[in-house]
Structure 1
Amino acid sequence: MSEAPWLTIVGLGEDGLKGLPPASCKALDEAEIVIGAPRHLERVGPLACETRAWPVPFKDGIAPLLALRGKRVVVLASGDPFWFGAGGTLARHLDTKEWCSLPGPSTFSLAANRLGWSLQHVTCHGLHAAPLSRLRPHLAPGARLLILLRDGAAVQELGAYLTTEGFGASRVVVLEALGGPRARETCDLAENLAEHSFQHPVCVALDVVGEGAALPLASGRPDHWFETDGQITKQPVRAITLSALAPRPGELLWDIGGGSGSIGIEWLLTHPTLHAISIEQRADRAERIARNAAWLGVDRLVVVVGRAPEILHAQPKPQAVFVGGGLSPELLSWLETHLDPGTRLVANAVTLETEALLLQAQGRLGGDLLRLELSRSEPLGPRRGWKASYPIVQWSVTL
């Protein structure tokens, strides 16, 4: 017979013990030590066993918890511990046989049932410790969002952010202490949230309305979405480049010669599990890349200042690499030598020297060569004509 887990994670609702199922109550009755945030401990009331407050920041409580192996321990969490909760963090430090979880209803489920929103058509966000700009890719008229925020002041900050982005007319329902005796609802427009006060725990239901710009879903977003000094992979070329890079869930991209960060940012916008490192040797451009990433909701982009290939040794190995400019024989040789088989490499060339390098590389390593010649219509006297951009040669290969 397998040994019982020493750790139980109990998801609490706002009703405390009153709302707990029998299994969770039993776990608390049998516990030797119960650990939780002060508000969680207050919610369950006096217990017969030892109680401990979880420290702030959260990570400081991991080591003391692991030192309690061999005792019967309960950790209190909010709602469903594995939906923007503590469960995922704790599970990373434990064997699967060491713990079990007894979830309560998530705030998202309670909010959806209160409002009559189908969860499959709603995006859910936990922004307790994340910037509000994470919402930017999701802001489009008609979209519905459920957002967990750190405290009441963050609700007012959300209203100001939405107003700045052109969505101040969005309809908002602020749900405080949902599911408990202190539950309270406030309905208003986002632009009016500064007129109210709110208390933690808080969930915001957002029905997006307004004239703000919606970020397109397709690769090749318009160039005006990116702050740039002119060093940017232009929109049509970016769309073709993202197609060649062919992002897949969970993968890591190296964007070598980040410029404005547009390739790395668009890679991350493709799927929330993707990762990217933008490598840029100029510090001013690196700062610009970080600003672009933060504004467009992908602040998880890692920006590294340095010159390739020297800086590449310290980076985790990617599944895809893009070189937008500055490909040299030295860099190409390093990539061939150090990247794992199966890594996808895409390089764009504008100059004749780099184009010659790509032709030689394709002759040795195979892959596809594509020549892009783009023209835009511009005024030509009283009429209009085509103005051609420099042709671009793109080489894509799987090493």
Structure 2
Amino acid sequence: MNLQEIVYRVLEKVSGKAQSAQAAASWGESTPVSFEADKLKSIKTSQTILIGLKVIADGRVGESHVTDPEDVDLLVEKALSLAKFGREVGYTFPKEKAPDVKLYDEAVAEIPTERLVDQCREMLGLVKAYNPDITVYAYAAKQLVRTHVANTTGLDFEGEGTGYSLRVYGELVQEGDILMAGYGRGWRRAEIDPSEVARRAVERFRMAERIVQVRSGRMPVLFTPEGLEVLLLSLRLGLSGKNVLLGSSPLSGKLGEEIADPKISLTDSGVEDYRMGSGHYDGDGVPTGRTVLIEEGVLRNFLYDLDTATRAGKKPTGNTGCSPNNWLLVPGDIPNEEMLEGVEEGIVVDDVLGLGQGNPISGEFSVNVALGYKVENGEVVGRVKNTMLAGNVYEALKHVLVVGSRAEWVRGTLCAPPVLVDKLSVVSKA
């Protein structure tokens, strides 16, 4: 399918009807394989096409999408019609060179479906070998994407990308206890070892074998890279330029101020090779890049899309909807294996339930610990149950004890080390 021809046809039809316009056409193919409860559930291959148009007509913006190349006339008509009721804007679509970032791996395109099935079977078998009583769920998938974008200002770009992911998790039910644990990895290269994914999943089950009680009280909490989602959800909202513009972010007006411990440095990046949050442009045609958000505890920048940046008098950062691309948390000096030394009593948090309930933009959180461990005298002694964790993200970030020296990529778009925070509120229902 010639995406360039589709985009050119859209721009030709909107010519003379709008002051500025940007069209994009993308084609994608996805092949997921899933095993459920130890058995093969599905193998699918699906293709999609999406054509989008943004226009600025009479100073107002309108946007529309269709999924059929034959509906180009409808696409243009809808975008122009919606612009009559759209917000007034003070920008035109940009024309800037794309950054040099690698998003495509030919080896992913060449992965046969049979290999995805075999990888699922391998992960499933390794988890069952550890404990045959675990009910196992396995997932493998590859994606191919091609996109062409052009606008009336002169931007004209076509790029392609790949995606590849493996995940295995399990459920162990015994004596009234239900334990769910697993591990997964995803990026744009065909380089994920299914045996390593399974090993990491088994490691979580092994650490959780013994159930121990934890007292209620304030104590140190170590967040694994996966568990850091507890802190990062509120930060995503607080660092959004849109929320800053609306005045709803607790970080409004605090640029240049210390908002976290000096051990915390955070960068947004859309130009990390082969990472899932990377891309050449955001949804407005603004090139992606790197934005330092927090530098040694000091707030340096917010994330902006084109519209919000224009309204705020700022430079756009290449972040669609003012949302993160990839986040990079700078590692510290203490080896991960030594982070718990000196902790007499505390917990490790790897996964939670209930995140996002309440008012996360304020920084307040109260979550159930889905997978966590008790620490005694610097050692993990077992898994905790019926435990809640509560606190305020912005206060927690001011009381960071240790940042680990080794970071890893999790959830596809976060590269972070473990972080040890002092004295959060732990509530045990035991």
When normalised by structure 2's length, the TM-score is 0.24
Structure having the larger proportion of residues in strand:
2
> Considering only CA atoms, is the larger Rg found in Structure 1 or Structure 2?
1
Q: Taking CA–CA contacts closer than 8 Å with sequence separation of 6 or more, which of the two structures ends up with the larger relative contact order?
A: 2
